[in-house]
Structures are given as structure tokens and as C-alpha cells.
Amino acid sequence: MQKTTCASAQQYLDRLGELLGRLDAAAIDALTDRIVQRWEDDACVLVAGNGGSASTASHYVTDLVKTAWVPGLRRLRALSLTENPGLTTALGNDIAFDETLSFPLESYGREGDLLIAISGSGNSPNIVKACELARERGLEVAALTGFDGGAIGRMADLHVNVPSDNYGLVEDVHLSIGHMLGQGLRARLVGRTPAVG
């Protein structure tokens, strides 16, 4: 897989600015609305990533649960599928690495939940397998990708692509999208009346 790198900080900053300017803001807002729907339904948002994107998945959950929380309202139920290193490494060692996300998804995911899959290439086998299982089980799938979107971009219900083959740039933009989602969720919840009962 061809990957580019930047030779200077200025080149990196220039390319980062270009990519941010090319983001599909409407798709990001649509994903925020789908997260709000899960909050309204008391359904769960599950986030999955591989490698550096595993850390991004954890960061998304932090923002969706803590940053987006409005005092007096119930918090969003959200979970990163990579938060248990014991389970992840046992699955990788004892079963297969491509099961490291689908296995916990099978335990936690329910019909009507939302899976947010984050992958630079869109082709990581464990991410692809988790997306396939999610679709089989009636979860909605949102894919955040780089490169050409890969397999998960083609199978997602909603796809936000960062059109670059530079992993650092793609991962930076994915992290920014997580902040957009967390802040957008909070903005949509402010002013709502707490549920009674």
C-alpha cells in the first residue's frame, strides 16, 4: 500500500489544512444526529479502531460520554471495543487477531446500536469483520476512513472519508472529527428536559 510522508512541518500543516477543508461537514453532522438518536433510544454507540485508531476510539468514547454530558440528563451509553487489553490479547493469541473486535461486539452490540469503525486504510481485517458482524446483527455502521475508504467504506451506512494516504494526517483528522461529534452531541442535548421516571 503506497503511503506518503511530509518532508517538513510546513508541508504537513499545509496538507492538514487542505484535508480539513475537504471534509464532508454534512456527513459529520448526519453522524452526530445518528448518535443523538441512540441517546434518545437509550441504545449504545460502540467504537472500534485498530493500531493508532484504537486510541482514537477510546478518545471518541471519552468525548461522547464526558464532554457531551449535560448535567441533569442521562449520559450516552458508549463503549470502545479495544478497552480491555487482556481480552484483546487473549483473542489475538488464542483465537485469531481478526476476531479482536467482532468477539466483544458480539457480546455488547444489540440491534439498533451504532458501530463507529475507524480505520486509515478501511481494510484492517479485524475492523472489516466487526463491520460485517454489525450488519448481520442489525447495527448501523458508520465508517471513518482514509485512502479510498477500503472495504468498510463500501459496506457502511454512513461513510466519512479523509482522502489521503498519509496515516498521520488521516489519524489527525479522525481525532478532530471525534471532537466535532462530542461537541455537536452536547449542543443538541443542551436545553432538553430531563426524562421523568
The CATH number for 33-188, chosen from 3.40.50.10490, 2.40.50.140, 3.30.360.10, 3.20.20.70, is 3.40.50.10490
Residues 6+ apart with CB under 8 A from 173: 16, 19, 20, 23, 162, 164
Q: pLDDT tens digits for 144-183? A: 999 999 999 999 999 999 999 999 999 999 999 999 999 9
- Contact assessment for residue 61 and residue 77, using Cβ atoms and an 8 Å cutoff: no
Nearest to 77 by CA among 132, 37, 135: 37
Cell of 107: 457480546
Measured distance CA(168)–CA(53) in Å, rounded = 11
- Contact assessment for residue 141 and residue 155, using Cβ atoms and an 8 Å cutoff: yes
pTM score over 0.85: yes
Measured distance CA(41)–CA(37) in Å, rounded = 6
Q: From the CA atom positions of the chain, what is the Rg in Å?
A: 17
Measured distance CA(173)–CA(177) in Å, rounded = 6
> What is the structure's pLDDT at 123?
97
- Contact assessment for residue 154 and residue 131, using Cβ atoms and an 8 Å cutoff: no
> What is the structure's pLDDT at 119?
97
- Contact assessment for residue 28 and residue 160, using Cβ atoms and an 8 Å cutoff: yes
Would you tell me how many other CB atoms lie within 10 Å of the CB of residue 196?
Answer: 4
Q: pLDDT tens digits for 9-42? A: 999 999 999 999 999 999 999 999 999 999 999 9
Asked if residue 137 has pLDDT above 90, the reply is yes
182/197: higher pLDDT: 182
* Exposed/middle/buried for residue 111 (C-beta within 10 Å: 0-12, 13-18, 19+): exposed
- Contact assessment for residue 159 and residue 149, using Cβ atoms and an 8 Å cutoff: yes
Return the domain boundaries, the chain.
Answer: 33-188
